[in-house]
Amino acid sequence: MAASAVYDDDMAGSELVTSSLPLETRFPPFQLRQLGGFWFPEAILPGVAAAHARFEPRPSDVFLASFPKSGTTWLKALAFAVIYRADHPPRSPGHPLRHRNPHDCVKFLEEPFAVDGGVLAALPSPRVIATHLPYSLLPGRVAAEGGSGVRRIVYICRDPKDALVSTWLFAKKVVAAAAARDGDEDGKPPPAPTTFEEAFELFCDGRCMAGPQWRHVAGYWEASRRLPDKVLFLRYEEMLQDPVGNVRKLAEFMGCAFSGEEEAAGVVEDIVELCSIDALKNMDVNKNGAQEYVKNESFFRKGVAGDWSNHMTPAMAERLDKIVDDALQGTGFTFAPAQSA
């Protein structure tokens, strides 16, 4: 299928020839390479190759897909809390989400060690696995339309202007964390963070992690139209407006709808509360813990729709909206107008 064909174009044997891929260095700390029409941090490409070559999906797997900074952490928390609620009732003091960051509860398919380190293979079924890969670059065994069939995929999309702002602010934190960690031990000064204006231009050109954002969204949108039972398409802004309704939808899609007793006991509301940005932000692990490259607190900022207006001029917003609208012509998809922050 197309995904594998695109990917194979950039492969030599079973190894990805990273150095042959187009390079973008203007978005530190990430050095991006272009693969199959999308830009990725160079460091994850071995994980992408491993996922294509050796990942073994199971029929019960659920994949959580997103463009970065579009609600991934929230979706990870919600899906984890929903699917494992029998073992981990949302109110229990020992719930894993009270002691581990959502990124430690749900791993990315393409992250180092996920496939080749046996991290995903060691998980009990049903597994919840995240990915920032676009639909066209999912391993054929995950997204084969026909044959063994597409696995269940939940996609979350967000207004590109808010995703851009969130990405830029997050990248600054990663640069600062790298500088604090490495100092100038290699004799080179730490990379200067990109200005917002530079990040905006790169984003408009599709040159950002997993960009172009609109093509990422359109791929999953089209798949969700073709395969509504296999691909659930959620919007961050709608989840903010109606978290309970969206969590019900998520549970039904994952094959574990809430029972009448659970509804009556308020389990849906408990999950929404457990996974709310305020609750997660205030957990000790998210105030003081860290991932390898950044503090856990960096994943929780405002969590609202429309914060772009505090960082972007109306002219910039209009320009990006037009680029996105033009690119989405013919897909039947539009971004709903974002609310004000």
For ligand PAP, the binding residues (CB under 6 A) are 66, 68-74, 162, 166, 169, 275-277, 280, 299-303, 307
Q: Is 132 a catalytic residue?
A: yes
Bond before 90 cis per omega within 30 degrees: no
Categorise residue 50: left if φ over 0, alpha if ψ from -120 to 50, beta otherwise.
alpha
Q: Tell me the HSE value of 29 on the side-chain side, using a 13 A CA sphere.
A: 17
Q: Would you state the structure tokens that stand for residue 77, as one six-digit string?
A: 């928390």
CB of 77 to ligand PAP, least distance (A): 6
CB of 58 to ligand PAP, least distance (A): 23
Q: Which residues pair with 157 in a beta bridge?
A: 235
CB of 125 to ligand PAP, least distance (A): 24
Q: Which residues pair with 32 in a beta bridge?
A: 24, 41
Taken in order 74, 226, 115, 84, the sign of the CA dihedral is positive
CB of 293 to ligand PAP, least distance (A): 11
Tell me how far apart the alpha carbons of residues 108 and 295 are, in angstroms, rounded to a whole number. 18
CB of 319 to ligand PAP, least distance (A): 20
CB of 176 to ligand PAP, least distance (A): 15
CB-nearer residue toward ligand PAP: 84 or 155: 155
Within 10 angstroms of residue 14's Cβ, the number of other Cβ atoms is 10
CB-nearer residue toward ligand PAP: 3 or 294: 294
Q: Are 203 and 323 in contact (CB under 8 A)?
A: no
Of 52, 88, 103, 132, which one is the catalytic site residue? 132
Q: CA–CA distance from 95 to each of 166, 250, 297 (Å)?
A: 28, 20, 19
Amino acid at 232: L
Q: Would you state the structure tokens that stand for residue 245, as one six-digit string?
A: 């309704």
Q: Are 197 and 35 in contact (CB under 8 A)?
A: no
Tell me how far apart the alpha carbons of residues 166 and 204 are, in angstroms, rounded to a whole number. 15
What is Dmax (Cα atoms) for the chain? Answer: 63
Q: Would you state the structure tokens that stand for residue 231, as one six-digit string?
A: 């691909």
CB of 238 to ligand PAP, least distance (A): 12
CB-nearer residue toward ligand PAP: 4 or 70: 70
- Secondary-structure breakdown of the chain: helix, strand, coil percentages, each rounded to the nearest 5: 45, 10, 40
Tell me how far apart the alpha carbons of residues 213 and 206 are, in angstroms, rounded to a whole number. 7
Q: Which residues pair with 64 in a beta bridge?
A: 130, 154
Please list the active-site residues. 132
